[in-house]
């Protein structure tokens, strides 16, 4: 990953759309001096650390954090979730958050920070029960998030996590 603070890499506007940065999703194979290497790239066109953290999130393999507030008595869960905004999560650095926020449980699972068996766990719920969640931003070990699958397999899942404000 290459970071050029204060340098203009390209125009601030591409096709009439302002942007703060760009980052490759995961690693890409390229050939340099006849040798194949795997690398990620980030272009930071904004001036905030949140932009750099967001683009590095792409480099680690994460996509944008979407968000959708479904209305009760209205559309089905599937219809509601299909309408989610790509950058919509205002509490996630991979969404529209402009501060130093954590990523959501699904993105942390993608990074290997939450696992089914580790000290910080995420669990797929397959039966009714009571599940106690530890706050995501705390160092307390235990269950941090649950995923509730819906629809036929393989299916997407609703994820639930418990967050406290970070000072």
Q: What is the pLDDT of residues 77-96, one digit of tens each?
A: 566 655 556 677 777 888 87
Main-chain dihedrals φ then ψ at residue 64, nearest 5 degrees:
-70, 150
pLDDT in tens, 1-57: 444 444 444 444 455 566 777 777 877 777 888 888 877 777 777 667 778 888 888
| Core vs surface per residue 21-51: b (16+ CB within 10 A) or e | bebbeeeeeeeeeeeeeeebebbbbbeeebb
Strands 120-124 and 42-44: unpaired
* 157-161 and 142-149 strand pairing: antiparallel
At 100-158, the pLDDT tens digits run 677 888 888 988 889 999 899 999 998 999 999 999 888 889 999 999 887 777 667 78
């Amino acid at each position: 990953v290459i970071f050029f603070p204060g340098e203009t890499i390209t125009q601030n506007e591409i096709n009439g759309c302002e942007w703060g940065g760009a980052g490759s999703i995961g690693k890409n194979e390229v050939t340099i001096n006849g040798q194949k290497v795997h690398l990620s790239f980030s272009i930071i066109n904004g001036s905030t650390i949140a932009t750099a953290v967001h683009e590095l999130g792409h480099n680690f393999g994460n996509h944008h954090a979407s968000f959708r507030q479904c209305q009760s008595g209205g559309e089905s869960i599937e219809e509601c979730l299909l309408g989610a905004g790509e950058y919509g999560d205002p509490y996630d650095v991979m969404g529209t958050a402009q501060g130093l926020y954590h990523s959501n449980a699904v993105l942390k699972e993608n990074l290997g920070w939450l696992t089914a068996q580790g000290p910080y766990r995420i669990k797929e719920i397959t039966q009714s029960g009571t599940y106690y969640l530890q706050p995501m931003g705390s160092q307390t070990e235990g269950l941090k998030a649950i995923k509730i699958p819906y629809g036929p397999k393989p299916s997407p899942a609703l994820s639930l996590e418990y967050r406290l404000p970070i000072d």
